[in-house]
Amino acid sequence: MNASPAAHPDAERLRAYGLGQLDADQASAIEVHVAACQTCCESLVTVPDDQLVSLLRSAVSSATEPDADARSTLPPSEKQAEAFREQATLVHPAKSTSDLEVPPELAEHPRYRIVELLGVGGMGVVYKAEHRLMERSVALKVIDRSLTNKPAMVERFRREVKAAGQLNHPNIVHSYDAEQVGDMHYLVMEFVAGTTLARVVEHEGPLPIERACDYVRQAALGLQKAAENGMVHRDIKPQNLMLTPNGQVKILDFGLARVASETVPSLAEGDLRQLAADEKSRESLTQIGSVMGTPDYMAPEQITNAHAADIRADIYSLGCTLYFLLTGRVPFPTKGVFDKLMAHTEQQPTPLAKWRPEVPIELARVVEKMMAKNPEKRYATPAEVAEALEPFTGSKKPARRRLWLIAAAAALFAVLILGGVMIYVQTDKGEFVIDAADDSVAVAAKGQTLKIIDQDSKREYQVKLGAQDMRSGKYKLVATELPGDKEISSDKETFDIVRGGKTRVTVSFRSKGSNNAVIKKFNPVDAKPIARDGVTAAESGWKIEAKEQRENIPLFEVKDPGVDDCTVLYKAKIKSADVKGRAYLVMWCRFPEGEAFSKGFGNAIRGTTDWAEYQIPFYLKKGEKPDLIKLQFTFEGSGTVWIKDIELVRAPLPPQGK
């Protein structure tokens, strides 16, 4: 069957074949050739990914249902890791398929082998590459030719990049070198696995305050280092801030952004509005857009006198970036380059509090000061910004403290001021859970009664236990406003104090006995796994072996578990040996009104050779009553896993709005 036509398909067709872009007929002709041709095979393995391949890979690696519920079952660290399993992207997503071709000069580079395309931005195309000898990964940024067509520009680039190369700081992506092949110029940079903050927000929405402040503070530390070396960035924006999987922020494009910004003819000083009428100025405005992307983060003084702008312009841009991280919106969401520029010089952004009422006023002031129109009114150095943000980064205390309180049966009330605290008041029937978002609330407890004092409105409420639901064992709450006995809420399981459209305090009660009830435990004495092959009893649990490929190994089923409107946890202790690919325990819930569908979550095992405890919640909303719960073990590879202490546990749903 070695029918090998002498003629090789041309490079373009071979590439198209490699990516499955040809019709079946054309493909099968080439396939016969490829099956026996070493040369074509060698070029096929270097074909870079296109959009479909990148999409497929990110689709399987993110591995979540598109279901918000499913995603919320991930613990935060897992969720964060999840965001990074997607394709690392340095700048913008690819513009079109024609950008995906590797320039021939690079494809045959003596030192670097191009691995894949990372992204396409205004200033050039970025590839991941590997040093052929040292097996080190780097990022190569090919500078757009429009920026390197003048010899003077090239000289400036080299100098700037050289200066940027001196910047050794954990919060700055390190550039190694500026090189040239033919008339193509490119930068060799540190390869950072991760994703840009722009993408993080796209993926997760506005960030929690502590995270947003932490990221911006890290960027400020990087900028401080640059400022000390006499450098400015000039294009600070979420797209230029990389986040690594361990939470480190790194600034991209130091040196490059500055030179690029100066290719744009500077506007003469004067009234922008008047300039806009002038044909030539309008043109340079458009150019700003094409070189720098949208000017959503650009300081006012950069517009009129780019050369004079100093590190304080970067502080302004960083302020806009923080605004974006907190709200998911740019400060001036008007359309068009000109209107945006006008807004930066003349308008005030919508106050942060409108989008995020929980942003402390002190933090809003920090953002305002960073974004002051007049550079003199801003922080003078990035170090000052970092210092101002420090208190909001949650570095000193955990985000939510937990307090335990034993309710006194005696006459005395214990009063506590709450501030971002979860408080548990234990009584003989169970425990109150009080979740307060701000610090203007005091709580007191006596027996089965709570007193909540809202110090802002000076109102007082009494919350006590109402009727108990016979089936679930849960208590309803009865709330009255004091003084007097005006009942304001009863027959609900939670009591909320809402102010300004936001829930400030939520009180709920977890009755004893009905909480965290074990639905079923599985142990080798009385439980038999459904799968007969590959599962054996061992070490007071089971040993599961998978030789190869994907395998779903059904373990246990519970018919009519009688749960809804609660959290179902599945717990297990797992250890592994020689696991290749991913392996995880999955829970399925089948609902009578629909077909069986998977909603559980895989928690992949990563080389734990010791027992590790896994506990994965699964939220069932009201009315979601499964008639069957199934546990299975999934291998997407091979290996051996031991599992023991498997339990299905019923727990209350977490409070809403978290």
**Should residue 604 be labelled a site residue for another protein when binding is judged by CB under 8 A?**
no
Give the other-Cβ count within 10 Å of 295's Cβ: 24
Contact (CB, 8 A) for 161 and 174: no
Dihedrals φ, ψ of 235, to 5°? -145, 50
Q: How far is the CB of 620 from another protein (least distance, A)?
A: 11
**Should residue 244 be labelled a site residue for another protein when binding is judged by CB under 8 A?**
no
Show the site string, 64-103: x = touches another protein by CB under 8 A, - = not. -xxxxxx---------------------------------
Q: Is 35 helix (H, G, I), strand (E, B) or coil?
A: helix
Q: How far is the CB of 67 from another protein (least distance, A)?
A: 4
Show the site string, 559-588: x = touches another protein by CB under 8 A, - = not. ----------------------x-------
Give the strand order in the sheet containing 421-427: 401-406, 421-427, 430-436, 502-511, 494-499
Of 235, 296, 435, 438, which is the active-site residue? 235
**Should residue 540 be labelled a site residue for another protein when binding is judged by CB under 8 A?**
no
Query: Cβ closer to another protein: 179 or 496?
Result: 496
Query: Cβ closer to another protein: 624 or 645?
Result: 624
Residues 6 or more apart whose Cβ sits within 8 Å of residue 215: 197, 207, 241, 243, 249, 325
Question: Of the ranges 216-224, 238-246, 371-379, 617-625, which one interacts with another protein (CB under 8 A)?
Answer: 617-625
**Should residue 36 be labelled a site residue for another protein when binding is judged by CB under 8 A?**
yes
Query: Cβ closer to another protein: 13 or 373?
Result: 13
Of 7, 13, 23, 103, the one binding another protein (CB under 8 A) is: 23
**Should residue 353 be labelled a site residue for another protein when binding is judged by CB under 8 A?**
no
Alpha-carbon distance of 308 to 258, in angstroms, equals 12
Q: Which two tokens stand for residue 585?
A: 């325990």
- DSSP, res 264: S
Of 8, 62, 453, 543, the one binding another protein (CB under 8 A) is: 62
Query: Cβ closer to another protein: 151 or 205?
Result: 205
Contact (CB, 8 A) for 233 and 314: yes
Of 501, 607, 613, 658, the one binding another protein (CB under 8 A) is: 501
Dihedrals φ, ψ of 140, to 5°? -110, 125
Show the site string, 461-490: x = touches another protein by CB under 8 A, - = not. ------------------------------
Alpha-carbon distance of 220 to 385, in angstroms, equals 7
Residue with tokens 């040369």: 39
Crossing angle between the packed helical segments 24-36 and 11-18, to the nearest 10 degrees:
100
Of 103, 208, 245, 328, the one binding another protein (CB under 8 A) is: 328
**Should residue 549 be labelled a site residue for another protein when binding is judged by CB under 8 A?**
yes
Of 8, 13, 57, 543, the one binding another protein (CB under 8 A) is: 57
- HEC-encoded secondary structure of 276-330: HHCHHHHHHHHHHHHHHCCCCCCCHHHHHCHHHCCHHHHHHHHHHHHHHHHHCCC
**Should residue 417 be labelled a site residue for another protein when binding is judged by CB under 8 A?**
no
Pairing outcome for strands 401-406 and 421-427: parallel
Query: Cβ closer to another protein: 21 or 468?
Result: 21
Single-letter amino acid, residue 104? P
Active site residue 23: no
**Should residue 634 be labelled a site residue for another protein when binding is judged by CB under 8 A?**
no
**Should residue 245 be labelled a site residue for another protein when binding is judged by CB under 8 A?**
no
Alpha-carbon distance of 201 to 199, in angstroms, equals 5
- Interacting residues toward another protein by CB under 8 A: 17-24, 27, 31, 34-38, 41, 44-45, 52-53, 55-62, 65-70, 201-203, 205, 328-329, 501, 548-549, 581, 593, 597, 621-624
Active site residues: 235
